[in-house]
Amino acid sequence: MSTPEPPPYPSGEEGNEPQNPPGFPPPPPGAPQYGQYGVPMPGVVPGSKQATVSLVTGIIGLLCCVLLGIVAIVTGKQATAEAAAAGLPQPGNAKAGIILGWVSIGLTVVGILAYVLIFAVLGIAGVSSSEFSTP
């Protein structure tokens, strides 16, 4: 009498994969590898450093130094040009830096005009009040 052969062990071939127990979902897929769809490749995005410089100088220019508003506009435009040359959209930091730079310049112009207007009004009031004063 011959002994029965044991069942074959799974060899990793098609159809011999382990099955999930009933009532349990399949396991999640493995982590995506670099180069697969949806996985960003490591590296520096063109214009990202200048975009950050634009944002920081725009904030500082808005708070205290007008000349940094001009720097924010220039570096933001450079970052936008670098990103466009690489076929990427405009970096958000660059856009924010450009906007803050223009707001800084606009507020400076309004402040200078208000300063001139106040002294012009005070100067006219001072001249008109000195004409009516009695010696």
Report the predicted TM-score, pTM, of the whole model to 2 decimal places. Answer: 0.59
- Please indicate, yes or no, if residue 27 is contained in any of the structural domains: no
Structure-derived torsion over alpha carbons of residues 70, 74, 77, 79, reported in degrees to the nearest 10: -120
Whose CA is closest to 73, among 57, 85, 60?
Answer: 57
The answer to whether residue 17 sits within a structural domain is: no
Domain encompassing residue 106 = 48-129
Q: Is residue 29 part of a domain?
A: no
Within 8 A by CB and 6+ apart from 106, the residues are: none
- What digits encode the pLDDT tens for the residues 6-47? 665 555 555 555 566 777 777 666 655 555 565 555 566 666
Q: How many domains in the chain?
A: 1
Query: Does residue 28 belong to any structural domain of this protein?
Result: no
Domain presence at residue 16: no
Average the pLDDT over each of 52-61, 112-121, 126-135 and give the range with the smallest value: 126-135
75: in domain: yes
Residue 9 lies in a domain: no
